[in-house]
């Protein structure tokens, strides 16, 4: 550590998601927006000037080689994550990585092994898990008004019309599952609080073999199941959590912004309806950066463990590789 009470952050790539993370690093008193790396040195320099980084680098490796960098945020395409997480660990950096953290569960196991060996922290960036909105959903879903959870139905969809988008390049990792399906898997596993015993999936692939749409069923027990729909050909997000005493209806369950949001509780007999309002003074990205920064400074685990990532990606990988193909022919 170059400063005892501050973490110098470096960011690998100039991806759009950085716009949510950069203010979070800037605003936290114990984090410092230090370095930005791109494969194009001029682009990195311009990006550094625009966003207030102290230093820019014309290669990713140059940033990792700088001893002043304490932690890195990796926002490059999924298929590049494993290589650069391992390179970051080799150079002694803590790593916060965008979801999906890798494309294979065995890669996360290796990351975990190396991180533990080097006494470094690595975490997958499911920022919604930090947000008061999700925290309240989880608390309410696991309370007596809902009762024993029997079923979760959840969808997340995000249009991808540009064929050149990185999420539609098969060499860079899974498509819809790596981008939005991972959220739905994570939501169901977290709300129910255990791993499914089995699952099945139907997947629609495009002509290049990229997963564009998926229907997934998770079986936690005979009376505890979940259904997931994720898509690149429509938009929107919704969840319903159904219990023995009532249910929750949630529009945009992965909401992570500041401000107020609400979800609806309906009793099993329909006689009681209540709108549960949740106020947030910080974004999910801000809360995530604060936690990870303090984990580095205090040498304690961050909120989300790698074992959780292993559980998520075990299912995700199997869905992408072994899902039953969907087609117009049936």
Q: Which domain holds residue 92?
A: 7-127+285-303
70 and 150 co-located in one domain: no
**Residue 106 counted as domain residue:** yes
Q: How far apart are CA 131 and CA 125, in angstroms?
A: 12
Mean pLDDT of 33-62: 98
279 Cβ neighbours under 8 A, 6+ residues apart: 132, 259, 260
Mean pLDDT of 97-114: 97
Specify the pLDDT at position 175.
94
27 and 172 co-located in one domain: no
Q: How far apart are CA 287 and CA 292, in angstroms?
A: 9
Residue with more model confidence, 329 or 282: 282
**Residue 34 counted as domain residue:** yes
**Residue 143 counted as domain residue:** yes
298 and 257 co-located in one domain: no
**Secondary structure (3-state) at 95:** strand
Mean pLDDT of 138-152: 97
Q: Supply the mean pLDDT for the chain.
A: 96
122 and 99 co-located in one domain: yes
Mean pLDDT of 185-209: 97
Specify the pLDDT at position 162.
87
Please give the tally of structural domains in the chain: 2
Q: What is the CATH number of the domain that holds 295?
A: 3.40.50.720
92 and 143 co-located in one domain: no
Specify the pLDDT at position 170.
87
Specify the pLDDT at position 328.
61
267 and 180 co-located in one domain: yes
Q: Which of 223, 256, 253, 275 is nearest to 155 (CA)?
A: 253
Question: DSSP letter string over 133-162?
Answer: HHHHHHHHHTSTTT-SEEEEEEEEE-----
Specify the pLDDT at position 161.
85
**Residue 2 counted as domain residue:** no
Number of H helices, E strands in the chain: 10, 15
Phi and psi at residue 67, to the nearest 5°: -65, -15
Mean pLDDT of 20-38: 98
Whether the per-residue pLDDT at 176 is higher than 80: the answer is: yes
Whether the per-residue pLDDT at 212 is higher than 90: the answer is: yes
- Residues 111 and 104: beta-carbon distance below 8 Å: no
- Residue indicated by tokens 């994550």: 81
- Residues 39 and 59: beta-carbon distance below 8 Å: yes
Specify the pLDDT at position 174.
92
Mean pLDDT of 252-260: 97
Whether the per-residue pLDDT at 275 is higher than 80: the answer is: yes
Residue with more model confidence, 164 or 132: 132
**Residue 162 counted as domain residue:** yes
Specify the pLDDT at position 158.
94
256 and 148 co-located in one domain: yes
Whether the per-residue pLDDT at 330 is higher than 60: the answer is: no
194 and 320 co-located in one domain: yes
Q: Which of 231, 235, 20, 10 is nearest to 127 (CA)?
A: 20
């Amino acid at each position: 550590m170059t400063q005892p009470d501050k973490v110098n952050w470096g960011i690998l790539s100039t991806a759009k998601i950085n716009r949510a993370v950069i203010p979070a690093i800037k605003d936290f008193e114990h984090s410092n927006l230090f370095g930005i790396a791109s494969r194009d040195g001029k682009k990195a320099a311009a990006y550094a000037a625009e966003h207030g980084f102290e230093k820019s680098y014309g290669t990713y490796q140059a940033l990792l080689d700088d001893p002043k960098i304490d932690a890195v945020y990796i926002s490059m395409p999924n298929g590049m994550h494993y290589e650069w997480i391992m390179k970051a660990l080799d150079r002694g950096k803590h790593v916060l990585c965008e979801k999906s953290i890798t494309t294979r569960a065995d890669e996360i196991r290796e990351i975990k092994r190396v991180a533990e060996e080097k006494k470094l922290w690595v975490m997958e960036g499911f920022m919604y898990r930090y947000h008061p909105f999700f925290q309240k959903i989880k608390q309410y879903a696991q309370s007596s008004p809902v009762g024993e959870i029997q079923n979760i139905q959840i969808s997340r969809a995000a249009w991808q019309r540009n064929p050149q988008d990185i999420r539609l390049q098969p060499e860079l990792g899974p498509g819809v599952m790596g981008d939005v399906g991972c959220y739905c898997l994570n939501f169901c596993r977290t709300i129910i609080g255990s791993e499914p015993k089995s699952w099945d999936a139907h997947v629609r692939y495009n002509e290049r073999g990229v997963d564009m749409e998926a229907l997934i069923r998770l079986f936690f027990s005979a009376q505890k199941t979940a259904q997931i729909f994720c898509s690149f050909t429509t938009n929107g997000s919704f969840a319903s959590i159904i219990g023995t005493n009532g249910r929750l209806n949630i529009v945009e369950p992965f909401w992570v912004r500041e401000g107020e949001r609400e979800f609806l509780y309906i009793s099993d007999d329909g006689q009681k309806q209540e709108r549960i309002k949740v106020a947030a003074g910080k974004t999910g990205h801000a809360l995530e950066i604060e936690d990870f920064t303090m984990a580095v400074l205090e040498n304690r685990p961050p909120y989300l463990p790698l074992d959780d990532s292993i559980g998520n990606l075990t299912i995700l990988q199997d869905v992408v590789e072994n899902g039953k193909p969907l087609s117009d022919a049936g």
